Copies of this chain bind each other. A is one copy, B any other.
């Protein structure tokens, strides 16, 4: 009987198909938006039949929700890793923040379509996947907030800073700068962009010339 076998509980074949669908969906939805993207398009770009989409996902919305979870999971892991690496290396919280800025830039550089799609959907209201979006947002922002809070506790940051708001502002700074970089100055290097944001973070904007 049992034919599925496979090493894990999930067949590798199916997982590969889902991955192809994620990749197709992410670029199409980033370009056109969720509603303007048809299931037929996603299937065609992924090189599978339309029925396969519905074999693997309950609906178009569910495909999108799982895509969101998948992508933000990668980002969150990357941010956390960056923060922990600086901690292991004995760096301070400013270094951790700086490393997370870089991790954010690397992520956006690697998955620009996902980032576009995420930004485009995050602040909408009355959408089916609203709760999913809130959860994954919180996971990512919490990493930044955590570092800020620890920095306040150990005296590295002023205890007058507003942790949630500052975290949002930092995320926004990286997000918008990176998206503009991708869209309007794609020829620039990541290091270049990182340096500009580092300068801003450390308040080295004001100051004398040359």
Given A31-B126, A119-B123, A209-B155, A169–B176 Cβ distance below 8 Å?
yes
Report yes or no: A169 in contact with B158, Cβ–Cβ below 8 A: no
Given A119-B120, A124-B32, A168–B180 Cβ distance below 8 Å?
yes
Residue from A165, A177, A196 with most neighbouring chain B CB atoms (10 Å):
A165
Copies in the complex: 2
Interface members, chain A 162-210 (any B CB < 8 Å)? 162, 164-166, 168-177, 179-185, 192-193, 196-197, 199-200, 202-210
Report yes or no: B31 in contact with A205, Cβ–Cβ below 8 A: no
In the assembled complex, the Cα of A94 lies from the Cα of B193 at a distance in Å of 22
With A116-B124, A166-B196, A169-B176 given, can you name 8 additional A-B contacts, CB distance below 8 Å? A31-B126, A34-B36, A120-B121, A120-B124, A161-B205, A165-B177, A168-B181, A172-B174
Report yes or no: B157 in contact with A168, Cβ–Cβ below 8 A: no
Instruction: Using CB atoms and an 8 Å cutoff, list the residues of chain A in contact with chain B.
Output: 30-36, 94, 116, 119-127, 152, 155-162, 164-166, 168-177, 179-185, 192-193, 196-197, 199-200, 202-210
**6 A-B residue pairs with CB within 8 Å:** A33-B124, A94-B206, A161-B196, A165-B177, A172-B175, A203-B203
Residue of B nearest to A37 (CB): B35
Query: Which of B120, B166, B173, B192 has a CB less than 8 Å from the CB of A205?
Result: B166
In the assembled complex, the Cα of A164 lies from the Cα of B203 at a distance in Å of 17
In the assembled complex, the Cα of A159 lies from the Cα of B169 at a distance in Å of 24
In the assembled complex, which residues on chain B have CB atoms less than 8 Å from the CB atom of A125?
A: 30-31
Residue of B nearest to A113 (CB): B125
In the assembled complex, which residues on chain B have CB atoms less than 8 Å from the CB atom of A35?
A: 32-36
Shortest distance from the beta carbon of A186 to any chain B beta carbon, whole Å? 12
Report yes or no: B169 in contact with A197, Cβ–Cβ below 8 A: yes
In the assembled complex, which residues on chain B have CB atoms less than 8 Å from the CB atom of A204?
A: 158, 203
In the assembled complex, which residues on chain B have CB atoms less than 8 Å from the CB atom of A116?
A: 123-124
